[in-house]
Structure 1
């Protein structure tokens, strides 16, 4: 275990096996202090995320650093997240000595809060009264941001990961002493909140955490995120994962970009883009979305979404199909479980192939009988 380790915590493992990350006390504290500085001062945190993930842990660390008691949200409905019950928990928090209240959520939770607030003016007032709403773990869609702005919600988009002790870029701008650079299209991060490395995996640690001498001769340690992004006017835009790219007919296609466009359309905010083998093109993209709201809520037409994707990203990126799933597999932190979704697609394809083979065999049998 690296010297100075104060916490060992697993990554979310959204696309593979979770990794054990070693974090120092100074990294955790640096992250907490930078968060409070950006939000406008210390406050009381209402915890609605698992405390075995970095997003949940950091709410506890921030509470310790500022001497405030966190409020733990216990959903009495037994459902994954009840927005009305969550607002009740927020109302029960007094903000501690500062009177300020903060929450940290994932997009699927925030989307449910927005839906409630848009239907219930009182809920909108209660959501507006929260002094800071951090949303991270996945990209916050432009449509979600517009809705939050229209409601007057104090939204902060958080970007970071376990290896950076949580969010270190808010609304595209670094917090605290975090530094951002782009190398070969990859987002790389430096600063006091970086992890010490991975437990039991020195090779991966050396690959992901690199030290370079600056122009002043001082070494700087950088974390290679594996995310694609760009810096424009000092603002970071993360465009997806470098490893979530398929090659269709010789053209590189970003699954994250397909998702981004699909999720801007009504009823598609849970969409996940997947890759499927194709005999002619090598790979083709598809879309998986949760079954539509049983109340009959509207959902944008797939063909219309496909046309927008084709126009913005090119013909190779246009999804060949979409399919519905009863409930999107998710990790405890709310991210889609990409591995489980890929396995589900594999079973679906296998079942379809068996059905098609059985139908073909039956047709041949009828011909023989004739």
Structure 2
């Protein structure tokens, strides 16, 4: 199968390329700056380059079957209707918004240009609300930072609040969703669905802790592993990594090793953090993900590790200046909350305020950049 690199991030161009890729081809490469071969296996439809938020980007091969299985399972779980694309079209969550639209035979609404509450409300107001006299449910997919922006604006803007309430479901993924933010969104009437997944699983495959139909999640030695029809074929041009990350058990079932720590209790998946996102502070292993989850219940922030003369490494809170009017009080509250739940060695040592947090195209915080800033 020929692989075409799409030289455009325009959602309409991506939609046309995906329509062809899900049919007779050719396959399409999205979001890649690396040199890629001209040919891929016949089943491949899309090659998505991962965001590389904490490591080297990888080119993930997704088949037609994986993409359509995910789209159909999503419709089965939350319903079908018209989708709004508010994420980059080359990001796997954006790709799936377009794939769901193609599978359902609907035209997606597109929020082009810079994301803002006003632009969001304007696009939502133009979405089709009925067909043949019957209401058409609407859906969208956002990252927590976008939801935070909308919820903050909705307090004073009735149009934004109305837009949030209009969706049958708003999928939220890419980062942990603070409980306080979800509660604020619910108070506005927004119906939030937390998703968990990655490019390697064709996007979110666990909704509000429950795997989609056909998807199985298991914890093996504390690491979450996923199997099912939505798994990627592997990494283009890296057979060694493919064999290490996609493994088979004694029964021949193929599993994706997520690298996430977590557990599955009574069919409910709970993610506790990245296995490798750990620092050693004063001789004690500290999970930065667990620290961040506690901190994010108090303020919108990212937690990274930084060198410390006394302790070797310590957690550091990084946040946007505008969201932290009293840094000393915020740090004190965070240290108290973290110490109560994880112990004193896990307490953040300081808070670093930036005019704006660097983010990847996916909307996720650029953790590599933030770690470098904290270290400097």
Both structures adopt the same fold (TM-score exceeding 0.5):
yes
- 1:56 Cα shift? 0.7
Q: Does 1:92 align with 2:121?
A: no
Give the direction of change, closer, same or farther, for the CA distance of 1:187–1:203 in structure 2 (3 Å limit).
Answer: same
User: Where do 1:247-326 residues align within 5 Å?
Assistant: 247-265=280-298, 268-269=299-300, 271-293=301-323, 301-326=330-355
CA distance in 1, matches of 2:323, 2:295: 17
Which string of whole-angstrom CA distances, capped at 9 and with x for unpartnered residues, describes residues 335-358 of structure 1? 111111122223x3xxxxxxxxxx
SS in 2 for 1:9: strand
SS in 2 for 1:275: strand
SS in 1 for 2:322: coil
Give the direction of change, closer, same or farther, for the CA distance of 1:87–1:300 in structure 2 (3 Å limit).
Answer: farther
SS in 1 for 2:304: strand
Q: TM-score, normalised by structure 1?
A: 0.86
Give the direction of change, closer, same or farther, for the CA distance of 1:212–1:95 in structure 2 (3 Å limit).
Answer: farther
SS in 1 for 2:181: helix
Residue pair 1:186, 1:224 contacting (<8 A) in 2 also: yes
Q: Which of 105, 110, 130 is the matching residue for 1:67?
A: 105
Partner of 1:206: 243
Equivalent residue pairs, number: 334
Residue pair 1:68, 1:96 contacting (<8 A) in 2 also: no
User: Where do 1:39-54 residues align within 5 Å?
Assistant: 39-40=78-79, 42-54=80-92
Give the direction of change, closer, same or farther, for the CA distance of 1:96–1:8 in structure 2 (3 Å limit).
Answer: farther
Q: Does 1:196 align with 2:233?
A: yes
SS in 2 for 1:119: coil
CA distance in 2, matches of 1:95, 1:25: 30
Partner of 2:169: 132
Which structure has the larger Rg? 1
Partner of 2:362: 333
Residue pair 1:292, 1:299 contacting (<8 A) in 2 also: no
CA distance in 2, matches of 1:95, 1:16: 42
Q: TM-score, normalised by structure 2?
A: 0.85
- 1:33 Cα shift? 0.5
CA distance in 2, matches of 1:12, 1:124: 30
Unaligned runs of 5+ in 2: 1-39
Which string of whole-angstrom CA distances, capped at 9 and with x for unpartnered residues, describes residues 48-105 of structure 1? 1111111111111101100000111124xxxx42112202101101057561111100
- 1:7 Cα shift? 1.0
- 1:167 Cα shift? 0.5
Residue pair 2:352, 2:374 contacting (<8 A) in 1 also: no
User: Where do 1:143-158 residues align within 5 Å?
Assistant: 143-158=180-195
SS in 2 for 1:94: coil
Q: Which of 209, 214, 224 is the matching residue for 2:257?
A: 224
Residue pair 1:69, 1:96 contacting (<8 A) in 2 also: no
CA distance in 2, matches of 1:340, 1:258: 19
Residue pair 1:44, 1:96 contacting (<8 A) in 2 also: no
The worse-fitting range, judged by mean Cα deviation, of 222-231 and 92-101 is 92-101
CA distance in 2, matches of 1:230, 1:249: 28
Partner of 2:145: 108
CA distance in 1, matches of 2:327, 2:125: 32
Which of structure 1's runs of 4+ aligned residues deviate more than 4 A? 95-98, 296-300
Q: Which of 9, 12, 15 is the matching residue for 2:54?
A: 15
- 1:4 Cα shift? 1.5
